Chains A and B, each alone.
Chain A
Amino acid sequence: MTASSNGLMQQSWTWFSQALTQHDTFQGYFQPLIQMLAPQWSTDSYRAQIVDIRDEMDDMYSLVLKPKTGLIDRHWPTFQAGQFIELMVEKEGTRTLRCFSISSSPAYYEKTGLIELSIRIQAQGRITPWIRQQLKIGSLVNISAAQGQFVLPQTRADDQNLEKYLFIAGGSGITPFRSMLQQISSIASNSREQSADIQLLYYSRNNQHVLFQQEFEQLAQENSGLSIAFIDGEESGFICTEHVQAYCSDYYLRTAFICGPSPMIQQARKVLTELEVAQDKIVFEFFGAAPVEIESNEQGAVVFQTSDKTVISEEGSVSTLLEQAENAGISPVSGCRIGVCHQCICKKKSGIVFNTRTQQYSDTGSEEIQLCISVAQGDVVLDL
């Protein structure tokens, strides 16, 4: 079948579903009934069961999840080491999403059908403490397919010229690296080949808070290519050029991967740039929403046309359109709140918005935007 006739089939099927059920898909219409058999079954996510909840540290826990398989559940597509998933939970009737890196390896998933998420309890957070208290072994949660570009380039086994990496992790930003290191280690032990050459700089608040320390020490012992520097933040301070030069003298030969809290990422990028590492050799992933970096933030009015409300944004304040809408008492559909899930997409009628994820300014015309990562620049009119 050609692509266009495929598209036509799809369109007709959607029309047919809309005609019979007023829903874009039949699954959408039958979802409430399917949920009677399979609780929490949903058209836009996968179900997973909590197999174990492990406290790692006083403010850190791991969820061990088993994506459901069977007749009713679609097969959860596997993932690449370093990717994250959206975890969806229903709290007081409100569906809430949070993104977490998978901290276990694809090889482990293949073997056991399990994935692990390692979650830091945000002291002021609404969700991370709640999950720890409310969810029990055996509870069901919803997860998305894995996504994200924070992955190692696929290296072939016969490739002689193996790439070298510099990993820089801050605190709970270690989770995607755990997945990568486990994966590399498991491949290496299977093929008995030289493993990739990796230098990991692992920053922690202090030497009491080193997540997975024992496990990493063991990994380093087993893999000759892996060397880890545990850096105590209290003692040695933030990342700086001296650290990089001291712990990784051949940094200029390596591709850098950075993950951690936003200020740490900003700092690490600055340091590497100062050391003249090319931008395309620096890969990073923000933990949570990307920080808003706007040079000048004009004062302006945000008009929510459908709700007939106008909000004046103050000079110097940087709240996203989603926050502004919520503060105005409008509750648009929202999801991850960091620009990943595309649920809060809304039609912008006019005006310029700054996208905090791509760091780009929009056009002035009408277009679809993601509310959670858009900051108004001057007057903006939204179809909301």
Chain B
Amino acid sequence: MTTPLATNRPDSETLKAFESDLNKIREETIAKVGDKDARYIRKVIRIQRISDMAGRLSLVLGFFNPLFWIAGVALLALSKILDNMEIGHNVMHGQYDWMNDPHINSRKFDWDIWGDGESWKRYHNHEHHTYTNIIGKDRDYGYGLLRLSDDITWRPKNRFQFITYTLLSSFFQFGIAYHEVAGERIFAGKRKENSSLPISREALKHSFFSKIKKQAFKEYLFFPTLAALISLPMFFAVLAGNLVAELIRNWWTSSVIFCGHFTEDAHTFDETECENETRGEWYYRQILGSSNFEGSRGFHILTGHLSCQIEHHLFPDVPAHHYVDMAKQVQAVCAQYDIPYNTGSFGQQYWTVLKRVAKYSFPTEEEQRIATS
């Protein structure tokens, strides 16, 4: 059920103090942003480039020893995960725009995944980050495929949603690419009446296909063909390697994201209650709607610091590698004001995600009664 905010929220005095405490954390962090951050992101980019090239080379060397093939898949998956999570997602949030670097800014960046960066920025930064976990407004909530709350009417297809979830995670890059196109009912469904799409439907369709064409050319044609020059069967070895690397990346990103908003205790909200929110109320909702998980520094980097989903939702444009430090401060502030702060190990959090997917496969008792009567 959606969390009734009006009755659950701390009083406005408390929220005001809470807001200024969070603002202070933000200001103190922003003051530290500089040289070190520029060096950090460039280093991550270098590691990504090297693992990309080494991965593709290693896949071909699989011709001599299959162990190379396995290493190649791992390196390529690492490259894609770093590119999508720690680099792409964060750069496209504008976290590094202050660097004024023509290659590391939200306006120019595009990532190594099917979803076109421009399209993703349009719906993600605005829609998902503004309407986080508001049923009916945040289309990222269950991606229009999964029933993750009993505010959504149960349908017979939800019975199989564990399979849907498995498919969604496996083809997550298609899901991300298709998201805005689906929202605008480009190929199917009744045309949206009051769409705020800033580009024409034709242009949206074009960028959707154009990006997928480029990605498919690279992964399923160009690099396999290059390998086929050594020996024909290598075409399939490299193709398979690329597909497995994509599959690993898809499952990883999907799992990280699901742990960010769909854990057992992540709240959902009703649209009417979120109108005219103050900054403090908005902070409060972002915290209730998100969840963190803990891990080592390397682990945080692989999640693009979405392991600190709460901090990401509070401060989406602060360079993400500061989130780990900010999380300690945010958690302390939450404790002070008695505001729930949802965190745990990755295993624990992921287990509750699976439970949630399973739980809402079934109708509520109410719905069952209506169905049987």
Q: Min CB distance, A11 to chain B, in Å?
A: 13
Asked if residues B198 and A22 are in contact (CB atoms below 8 Å), the reply is: no
Question: Considering the chains assembled together, what is the distance between the CA atoms of A251 and B362 in angstroms?
Answer: 93
Are A333 and B46 interface neighbours, CB within 8 A? no
Which of B45, B100, B110, B126 has most chain A Cβ within 10 Å? B100
| A32→B214 contact, CB < 8 A | no
Among A44, A90, A92, A332, contact of B97 (Cβ-Cβ < 8 Å): A332
Give the docked Cα–Cα distance between A30 and B217 (Å). Answer: 20
Is A310 interfacial (CB-CB < 8 Å)? no
A96 vs B103: C-alpha distance in the bound complex, in angstroms?
15
Contact between chains at B105 and A18 (CB < 8 Å): no
Residues 35-55 of chain A, each 1 if its beta carbon lies under 8 Å from chain B, else 0: 110000001100000000000
Query: A interface, how many residues as a size bin?
Result: 20 to 34
Give bound CA distance, A18 to B217, whole Å.
11
User: What chain A residues lie within 8 Å of B333 (beta carbons)?
Assistant: none
> In the complex, what distance in Å separates the CA atom of A331 from the CA atom of B33?
14
Segment at the interface with A among B10-18, B34-42, B132-140, B261-269: B34-42
B299 interface residue (CB < 8 Å to A)? no
B355 at the A interface (CB under 8 A) = no
**Residues of B contacting A333 in the complex (Cβ-Cβ under 8 angstroms):** 97, 100, 102, 105, 107-108
Interface string of A278-309 (1 = CB under 8 A from B): 00000000000000000000000000011010
A76-118: which have CB < 8 Å to B?
90, 92-96
Q: Which residues of B contact A20 (CB under 8 A)?
A: 218, 222
Contacts of B110 in A (CB 8 A): 18, 22-23
B152 at the interface (CB under 8 A from A): no
> What residues of B have a CB within 8 angstroms of the CB of A73 in the complex?
none
By the criterion CB–CB under 8 Å, are B42 and A32 in contact?
yes
Most buried by B among A30, A36, A95: A95
The reply to whether B215 and A383 contact each other, CB–CB distance below 8 Å, is: no
Complex Cα distance, B214 from A363, in Å, reads 36
Asked whether, in the complex, the Cβ of B38 is within 8 Å of the Cβ of A90, the reply is yes
A343 lies within 8 A of chain B by Cβ: yes
The verdict on A29 contacting chain B, using a C-beta distance below 8 Å, is: yes
B99 contacts partner chain A, Cβ-Cβ < 8 Å? yes
Does A72 have its Cβ within 8 Å of any Cβ on chain B? no
Q: Which of A28, A33, A44, A334 contacts B46 (CB 8 A)?
A: A33
Q: For residue A306, which residues in chain B have a CB less than 8 angstroms away from its CB?
A: 121-122, 125-126
- Chain B residues with CB under 8 Å of A95's CB are 99-101
Our pick among B36, B50, B121, B215 for the contact of A19 (Cβ within 8 Å) is: B215
Is B98 part of the binding interface, using a Cβ–Cβ cutoff of 8 Å? Answer: yes
Task: Tell me the nearest residue of chain B to A44, going by C-beta.
Answer: B102
Residue in chain A with minimal CB distance to B45: A32
User: 16 other contacts beyond A22-B110, A22-B111, A333-B102, with CB at 8 A cut-off?
Assistant: A20-B222, A22-B112, A28-B103, A32-B42, A32-B46, A33-B50, A43-B102, A44-B102, A92-B34, A92-B35, A93-B98, A94-B34, A95-B99, A96-B100, A306-B121, A331-B97
Pairs across A and B, CB under 8 Å, 18 listed = A15-B214, A18-B214, A19-B217, A20-B222, A22-B111, A23-B110, A30-B49, A33-B49, A43-B103, A93-B33, A93-B35, A93-B37, A93-B99, A94-B99, A306-B126, A331-B98, A333-B108, A343-B102
